[in-house]
Structure 1
Amino acid sequence: MTTPSPHKRPAYEPAARLLRPTGYNPDMPRPASTVAGVVLVLIRVAAGVFVIAGLGAAWDEALDSASLTLDAVEATAEVIQIGFWIAVGFGVIAIALDALFALLIYRGHNWPRVFVMAISTISIATSFATWWAIGDEITLEGTFLSLSLDILILLALSSRSAAAYARRNQRR
């Protein structure tokens, strides 16, 4: 006695089917993959806030341990402090942009979804390159959290449902 097998998707799909445009559907409900991607981006924002807060809490210690030598010239404490402020400023801007992108992705815009996926791809590639070239270890205290968040963000936001939701208002 044989039982009917459920319809299975093939292990690969033709490029024509993968590249087929999504349909125009402005009433499409927000998929779980989009919500998961937004939550993961917000977790990345929170992690960034904790990193900057940790740097602020250990500011004096970080300044004391920092040594910067450019062409055999010792940098003064003021130069090092300005460098830290610039790094914190760039960090705050990156965190604010990530939070803004999370909001725009949640609202269904496509360009921030693509931009966040590109940044995640660059981050993953950078982690790989530093591991390959320098032998930088991927540890729980170091790059493991950011690497895992970037991979999960990439998986969630590159799903078909997230792409269809982001393009639901496009007429073709």
Structure 2
Amino acid sequence: MSDARKRSSTEPLERLVGRADAAEPPMKRPAAVTMGAVLVVLRVLGGAIWLLALGANWRTVLADELDVVTVDADTLNASLAIIVVPGAVILLVELVLAWLIFLGVNWARILVMIFATLSISGSFAAWWAGDQELHLDFTLVTLALDILVMLALSSRAARAYARRPRRGAA
């Protein structure tokens, strides 16, 4: 019986053993990787828009959500900075991760998938607890982007591209 997966006994030795100077042919970047990086950038843009909207409406947010009526300007700015500065740093890190994903770095792909999983799970938990409603204005868009990032970056093509052999790698 002949199994198509078995190697032929007449294969050349160089192919079986592999030559040290023979490099793997370059792998074309799959569309899933490109779309995954683009979706992460869109997620960053959405986060930046959210931070700008939060900054513009911070006094209203404090009054409505926390029932704070009178706040001096220094406290207002300090409380806003506590949220905006870490948020901006996270967005910058996500932007760098998007670039690394585009280049085919596997750990960046996995890290972004972990963040997307946590974001999706957090949105579900908040919805389940009744603390958050899913609205089309922002929540549903970011949730959809996270799901699309997961689908793009978890594809076989994205995995193969991120784990491909590279020149100079031992």
TM-score normalized with structure 1 length = 0.73
The Cα offsets for residues 1-48 of structure 1, whole Å up to 9 and x where unpaired, read as: xxxxxxxxxxxxxxxxxxxxxxx9461110000001001001001111
| 1:102 pairs with 2:98 | yes
Counterpart of 2:48? Answer: 49
Change (3 A) 1:162 1:75: farther
CA contact (8 A) 1:68 1:75 kept: no
Aligned-pair identity (%): 40
Name which of 146, 155, 162 aligns with 1:159.
155
Change (3 A) 1:106 1:61: same
Work out the CA distance in 2 between the residues paired with 1:26 and 1:93. Answer: 38
Work out the CA distance in 1 between the residues paired with 2:99 and 2:83. Answer: 25
Larger radius of gyration: 2
**RMSD between aligned alpha carbons?**
2.6
Counterpart of 2:33? Answer: 34
Long gaps (5+) in structure 1: 1-23
| 1:93 pairs with 2:89 | yes
CA contact (8 A) 1:26 1:168 kept: no
Name which of 140, 144, 149 aligns with 1:144.
140
SS at match of 1:123: helix
Long gaps (5+) in structure 2: 1-22
Work out the CA distance in 2 between the residues paired with 1:92 and 1:148. Answer: 21
CA contact (8 A) 2:59 2:76 kept: no
Q: CA deviation at 1:90?
A: 1.1
Q: CA deviation at 1:86?
A: 1.1
Greater Cα shift, 86-95 or 130-139: 130-139
Change (3 A) 1:105 1:128: same
The Cα offsets for residues 92-137 of structure 1, whole Å up to 9 and x where unpaired, read as: 0111011000000001100010000000000111111111122632
Query: Bigger relative contact order, structure 1 or 2, given CA contacts below 8 A and separation 6+?
Result: 1
How many positions carry a matched residue from both structures?
145
Counterpart of 2:66? Answer: 67
Change (3 A) 1:26 1:116: farther
